[in-house]
Chain A
Amino acid sequence: MKGRKMPASTVTHPNVTPLIDIVMCLIIFYMLVARIGVATGADKKIDLPVSFQGVDIKDLGNTVTLNVSAAGENPLVTTLNPSTGATEEVKVVDGARKPLKALLQVLKGQNQNFKVIIRADQDLDYRYLEKVLATCSEAQVRDINFATRLPQAGLGIEPRVQP
């Protein structure tokens, strides 16, 4: 009996299945770890101090970030303007007015549980920070969080002490 021959295959394009597998893994990774659309107004140029005892804040929606730097004898405070999406300056004292206090009071009125995140340069003098803390105190804001950065591994910095 004469056996039938298989016809020659005409497929010439490459097999893209492994590519799709890898790309899908990458997409899932990025979707899990990336924070998209979460604008906090954080000034990334600020050199934060290192700390070992910090905690993570899961819910950044209830927070307002204040970037504090020095400008003459007064602190320069910038924060996110939700209406424009830009980071803008908020004066602590402007003549007889206190714009930062007013802003914090408005936010406190909208959400009693809101938190303030203070981002300041590690070499900033306390006299600048003091005015911002005093304003938070005047606005009855009790939950204040100081942004710090984790120590980098392998730099000979002491390990974190577990409480």
Chain B
Amino acid sequence: MKLKAASKIHYDAGPNMTPLVDIVMVILIFLMLTGTFAVGEHFLRSNLPLTARGGGGAAAPNVPLDEPLEIRVDSQSSEEWLAQVGQWQIRNSRPALAKQLTEMREALNANKTPTEKIQIVINPGRNTKYKHLVAVYEAALEARFQKVGFSTAH
């Protein structure tokens, strides 16, 4: 017996997309499940090793010493910190510390000490919170210092 439908002309002559859709869906689900995204992380880079307290440390022979500029940092509570640089004390304000450091850098530059020869040494207390150190570190970077490192705790 001849089927009626078989005698009709099929105008949909394109390729069968069903296997392609199946495979593509499998790939999509795999990527969605296994992929991890960059979650807004970034890094503060330091190329200075930990120095002894006071920014001393063992110097390499025949290499001129950088000018150390020490920032003493203490956490007074979980949310409060105090930075002491030279005779200045800055409390809980990264922009104020950055401004102070910028002035000190400009004074050192005017005294013929190039920025690349100045070494910022952050000298934290034993119980100083890491987030406060990051704030001080950032203030030094904002003041355009190029060498920033940590020293042993005071």
Contacts and interface: CB of A to CB of B under 8 A. Distances in A.
B56 interface: no
Contact of A150 (B35, B40, B131): B40
A150 B95 CA distance: 18
Nearest to B25: A23
B153 to A, nearest CB: 5
Contacts of A142: 47-49
A147 interface: yes
Interface in B36-56: 36-50
A104 interface: no
Contacts of B60: none
A26 interface: yes
B91 interface: no
A54 B42 contact: yes
Given A20-B20, A55-B43, A144-B46, A126 B134 contact: no
B130 A55 contact: no
Main secondary structure of the interface of B (DSSP, over half): mixed
A56 interface: yes
Interface stretch (B10-18, B62-70, B82-90): B10-18
Contacts of A7: 8-9
Interface size class of A (residues with CB under 8 A): 35 or more
Given A54-B42, A136-B50, A163-B141, A34 B36 contact: yes
Nearest to A31: B31
A47 to B, nearest CB: 9
Contacts of B32: 30
A86 B47 CA distance: 28
10 contacts: A16-B17, A36-B31, A51-B134, A125-B127, A125-B128, A145-B45, A146-B44, A146-B46, A149-B39, A158-B95
Interface of B: 5, 8-12, 17-18, 20-21, 24-25, 27-28, 31-32, 34-50, 78, 95, 98, 124-131, 133-134, 137-138, 141-142, 144, 150, 152-153
